[in-house]
Amino acid sequence: MADQKAKLVFPALAGLYESCAPYSYAMIRFATGAILVPHGVTKILNTPISKFAPNIAAKGLPFPEPLAYLTYFTESVGAACLAIGLLTRIAAAIVGIEMIVIVILFQWQFGYFWTNRGYEYALLWALLCVAIFFKGGGRYSVDRLIGREF
């Protein structure tokens, strides 16, 4: 029974599914990082650390200025590494931890939906990062190209 394939609703698409399947994980990993990069770049270009750090301090977190720098780094460099699959597990862990902090400290009070400043997307990013952390860079990653998984 385990060897039995599910019947496709559109059998004519079987070839397309089979030919694209090897790239699906790389697309998910790339999108997870690449969609976050503009958030980091926008912060770097438009919001000085001196204006961002008070948001962190207001939540009672220690060392708001270093955490602001870490946020900028995570959402730009860390996200870019995630997208290309370089130091993938480290990048996924850092981004995932940031997203969990965002969910709990910054967005939980607004509820689930992003349209109400809720935690919907930060939670999705966190869960994607957990999955990427366990899988690593995958077949189409810089980690694989250099022969090292971190």
Whole-number pLDDT of residue 5: 77
The closest of 60, 141, 69, 138 to 98, measured between CA atoms, is: 69
Q: Write down how long the chain is.
A: 150
Tell me the one-letter amino acid at 124: L
| DSSP symbol at 36 | T
State pTM to two decimals. Answer: 0.90
121's tokens: 């997307």
Q: How confident is the model at residue 149 (pLDDT cuts 50, 70, 90)?
A: confident
What is the Cα gyration radius of the chain?
Answer: 18
Do 29 and 36 meet the contact criterion of CB atoms below 8 Å apart? no
Tell me the one-letter amino acid at 72: Y
Residue 119, phi then psi, degrees to nearest 5: -90, 5
Q: Is the pLDDT of residue 2 over 70?
A: no
Tens of pLDDT along 84-130?
999 999 999 999 999 999 999 999 999 999 999 999 999 999 999 99
Residue in the structure block whose two tokens are 């912060």: 43
Distance CA 70, CA 54 (A): 14
Q: How confident is the model at residue 132 (pLDDT cuts 50, 70, 90)?
A: very high
Tens of pLDDT along 59-75?
999 999 999 999 999 99
> Which run of H or E residues covers position 13?
none
Q: Is the pLDDT of residue 150 over 80?
A: no
Q: What average pLDDT does this structure show over 35-60?
A: 97
Do 145 and 138 meet the contact criterion of CB atoms below 8 Å apart? no
Q: Is the pLDDT of residue 1 over 60?
A: no
Q: Average pLDDT over the chain, rounded to whole?
A: 95
Tell me the one-letter amino acid at 99: M
Crossing angle of helices 120-135 and 88-101, rounded to 10°: 150
Whole-number pLDDT of residue 3: 60
